[in-house]
Chain A
Amino acid sequence: MMDRKIVISDPTLRDGNHAVRHSLRVDQIAAYCKAADSAGVAIVEVGHGNGLGASSLQLGESATPDHLALTTARANLTQSKLGIHVIPGFATIERDLKPALERGVDVVRVASHCTEADICERHISFSRSMGVEVWGCLMMSHMISPALLLEQARKMESYGAEGVVFMDSSGHYIPEDVRHRVEALVDGLSIAVGFHAHNNLGLAIANSMAAADAGATLLDGCARGFGAGAGNAQLEVLVAVLERLGYSTGIDLYKILDAADLAEQALMKEIPVIRSVSVVSGMAGVFSGFMKPVTRIAEEFKIDPRDVFFELGRRKIVAGQEDIILEVAKELAQRAAKGCQ
């Protein structure tokens, strides 16, 4: 039996915010933080779906502003660390990061698109200099090879990151993909390697297990999989499977099952399921967070959202390029109209 520790980071109150259009309230944040804290979750991540400072008309306004969400979480976490997701550009150091650290954030996860680690230098260095734990996150990681992913991860390591998490933002991976990337990162870095799964192809848990087996020591999981698109690795299942395999997470199984029940009742309008469009977005390699806007815009233009996803995937569209959805939908609608004539 192996004796390996896995640090679980729980972005239910951050990635889950995507699923409810960033509408999580103070009472919901407080209740879930209490439950996760009691279960022994190592890190509880809180905030807008796109992270600190991302509340906007374009990306969706948070019902609970950052400062209130963080203060609430801090007040309800005694043993769990408080984490935030930070995308440079959305979050600036002076306006967002400094005040967040003053409110007691313990772990800063600085994220960029998988090819753009350079933009994280100042945010990682600043956070490190303030004495908090800093991880780098590489989003949409399926878009580059393991070797290129390692190059980007090494940049984050050089800036001072203490761990690098690669994210399957579109739920595109199969376990083999994950294994190759973890092996490359573990072999080439001196810092911890982590994985953040999405469940578009029903493989979030299997992919997380492949990551752990290949040497990852940081795994993300959300209660009931509450997250963008088809959801994330389902936290309570993740904990149970890790326990069966002999990994130690420090999490109490019954209490995390209770926390998941609470999350289902208190946070979710609907439990994430793998809808047809999610399967397509996973196949196409398109950001899970695009599901709602794609579905809405496709309906508006009376076209098949699956076609939109495949076209977005062909164009290698990433988060932040939501405007392209409209352009693609318009083109597909025009093409369909010409076909009818």
Chain B
Amino acid sequence: MKTECQKRIRQDCLRVLSGREKALDELRQSKLAVIGGTGFVGTWIAEMIAALNDEYQFGIKLSLLSRSPDQFANRLPHLANRKDINLIKADVRQLGQLPSDVEWLIHAAANPDIRTHASNPLDTASVIVEGTMSVMRTAERLGRLKKLLYLSSGLVCGSQPASVNGVAEDAQGAPAPDASFIYPNAKRFAETICSAARAQSRIPVLVARPFSFIGPYQALDTPWAQTTFLSDALHGHHIRVMGDGQVVRSYLYGSDAAYWFLRMLVAGESGDVVNVGSPVGITLQDLAKEVATNFDPSPEIMFNTAPRSAGRSAQLLPDTAHALNEYGLSVFTPLDEAITLTVQWHRMMQSNQARN
């Protein structure tokens, strides 16, 4: 029997899939693997595949490869115990366990936690760069592989120039070559590895560049604006905004992102690069206000004392024209609804934990 949380997630998936499931028909009766499959993205893809199989009889066999499948199984038994989902313990740098008959492959292995990047920059680079080399070497041996989608980062082009409304896929910028930017630099090099694998071994690989996401399954202890605001409010604290609150970001809901990735996987041309995110910007001040509207009494919003450096770009948004024009992808869940859904899900989880 499904819990309220599971029902809510299924509703999120069906809301996005409704009328759009045909665009994923190529996935029917196929074998898909997600490397790094137990994080935020992998979990949402698993939920989406479960919905496609249960509600639309897609018959997809999904393998999720992860360094910690046991934790995933404990946390999400409703996914882990399904017959159409196979959990495999593997490090992205050693992929001997990847089923050889995989037809669709998503490489999502990387830790996006900026605390890990700061404390362990070499490990961060190793997982991304050596991991991507390993995926490409493994892909060379997959005789039935139709497409490989690499999840890069929206940060690979560095900061957004003030002269544009969003960062396009062909933007020429780059992150500074120092340890503080190890994650986007490693992702940038991983994109180069994908290109090399395509040139040398004809691997059919395309690149997705995720920007910021929001939704259930996103850990609240990560120091990103959206998770921090949600955590503050859910724990009854004031919402504290870093700086003056005028920084602009955008957020794509988890089920939207999962659909975008699957759609790109089936419809994408090898060699394509596609931004994944919402083009609708919001200041952190307004994001905090939007979170606060979901609570009664509404938490106080506080700003810290950091003035924004005059030279620093305040905005990082994706230009999503390519995703819209080539793939028909847009934001399906508006941000206010996404925030409300996320808050409701966390509240349900809190009350479940309190009962247990």
Contacts and interface: CB of A to CB of B under 8 A. Distances in A.
Contacts of A299: none
Given A129-B231, A154-B118, A193-B306, 10 more contacts: A5-B305, A131-B235, A131-B238, A158-B114, A158-B117, A159-B118, A190-B243, A191-B306, A192-B304, A218-B305
A193 to B, nearest CB: 7
Contacts of A193: 306
Nearest to A119: B119
Nearest to A42: B305
Interface string A16-30: 000000000000000
Given A215-B307, A217-B305, A218-B305, A190 B247 contact: yes
A217 B115 contact: no
A150 B243 CA distance: 18
Q: Which secondary structure dominates chain B's binding surface?
A: loop
A190 B242 contact: yes
8 contacts: A131-B238, A151-B180, A158-B117, A158-B118, A159-B118, A159-B223, A163-B305, A190-B242
B119 A155 contact: yes
Contacts of B228: 128, 160
A186 B115 CA distance: 20
A131 B237 contact: yes
A218 B307 CA distance: 11
Interface in A137-159: 150-151, 154-155, 158-159
Interface in B221-269: 221, 223, 228, 231-232, 235-238, 240, 242-243, 247
B220 to A, nearest CB: 8
Given A118-B119, A125-B115, A155-B118, A192 B306 contact: yes
B309 interface: yes
Contacts of A125: 115, 221, 223
Contact of B240 (A4, A5, A162): A162
A170 B266 CA distance: 62
Contacts of B231: 129
Given A125-B115, A191-B242, A160 B223 contact: yes
B227 to A, nearest CB: 11
A186 B309 contact: yes
Interface of B: 114-115, 117-119, 178-180, 221, 223, 228, 231-232, 235-238, 240, 242-243, 247, 304-309, 311-312
Contacts of A160: 115, 223, 228
B246 to A, nearest CB: 11
Contacts of B243: 190-191
A128 B229 CA distance: 11
Contacts of A191: 242-243, 304, 306
Nearest to B221: A129
Nearest to A156: B118
B336 to A, nearest CB: 24
Contact of A163 (B114, B221, B237, B306): B306
Nearest to B238: A131
Contact of B305 (A155, A188, A192): A192
**A-side interface size class:** 20 to 34
B242 A158 contact: no
Contact of A189 (B118, B305, B306, B311): B306
A236 interface: no
B115 A163 contact: no
A163 B238 CA distance: 17
Contacts of B223: 125, 128, 158-160
A151 B117 CA distance: 12
Contacts of A323: none
A217 B242 CA distance: 14
A133 B238 CA distance: 10
A132 B232 CA distance: 10
A162 B117 CA distance: 18
Contacts of B305: 5, 7, 163, 192, 217-218
A162 B242 CA distance: 6
A190 B247 CA distance: 10
A217 B180 CA distance: 23
B119 A151 contact: no
Contacts of B118: 118, 154-155, 158-159
Contact of A217 (B117, B240, B307): B307
A159 B240 contact: no
Given A129-B221, A151-B178, A190-B242, A163 B304 contact: yes
Contacts of A163: 304-306
Contacts of B232: 131
A192 B305 CA distance: 6
A5 B235 CA distance: 30
Contacts of A261: none
Interface in A176-201: 186-193
A187 B221 contact: no
B163 to A, nearest CB: 21
A231 B84 CA distance: 68
Nearest to A5: B305
